[in-house]
Amino acid sequence: MKATEILMSEHRVIERVISSVETGAARLERGDAIEPAFFLSAADFIKGFADGCHHHKEEGVLFKTMADCGMPIDGGPVGMMLMEHEQGRVFTRGMRSAAEKLQSGDASARTAVIQNARGYAGLLRQHIQKEDGILFPMADRVIPQPLHDSVLDGFDHVEHEETGEGVHEKYLALADWLDVEARKARD
């Protein structure tokens, strides 16, 4: 399997969580009962999996390899992806902060939870399309075949050494839980 295929597979998991977050935000906006813990768990997933594992593979391995192969980091497609990663972090921190306030009884934080959840979802949906459709095919062309194995080794290092054994599986289970909670919300 190519490194970019691994990242695209992870995108499918992230998209499931995005759908769950959108459903949660819609429920909150309608005034339906939804625990702030749902949004805190979603923020945990985003920080731990989407950012801590997935974006770490992109930024620390794939993008660096692309740069080593002549692709500029500043400006251009890679620079745009890095900027969007940072914007996603801003939305995630905002959603977490607002959900914590909501959990402590501050009903006025509902709007901020909704705005940050939807902001993150909208950003990541178009971000994933750009990576899957433009950046990853570019990476496959720019990175010479002999270096593809070293990118895979770098991904393995991130997943097993830097983030720790079992962490990936923990976040996949959390994505499943968020999906179930979101479906409960629709029923």
Query: Tell me: the pLDDT tens digits for 87-137?
Result: 999 999 999 999 999 999 999 999 999 999 999 999 999 999 999 999 999
Specify the CATH number for the domain of residue 60: 1.20.120.520
Confidence tier at 82 by pLDDT (50, 70, 90): very high
Count Cβ atoms within 10 A of the Cβ of residue 171 and give its class: 0-12 exposed, 13-18 middle, 19 or more buried: buried
Res. 33: pLDDT tops 90: no
What are the phi and psi torsion angles at 30 (to 5°)? Answer: -75, -15
Instruction: Report the pLDDT value the prediction gives residue 186, as an integer from 0 to 100.
Output: 53
CB-facing half-sphere around the CA of 157: CA atoms within 13 A: 12
Res. 187: pLDDT tops 70: no
Instruction: Report the pLDDT value the prediction gives residue 57, as an integer from 0 to 100.
Output: 95
Task: Say what the pTM is.
Answer: 0.93
Q: Which domain holds residue 99?
A: 3-186
Query: Tell me: the pLDDT tens digits for 133-151?
Result: 999 999 999 999 889 999 9
Please compute the mean of the pLDDT values over residues 3-31 and round it to a whole number. Answer: 95
Which has the closest alpha carbon to 155: 60, 48, 81?
60
Q: How many domains does the chain have?
A: 1
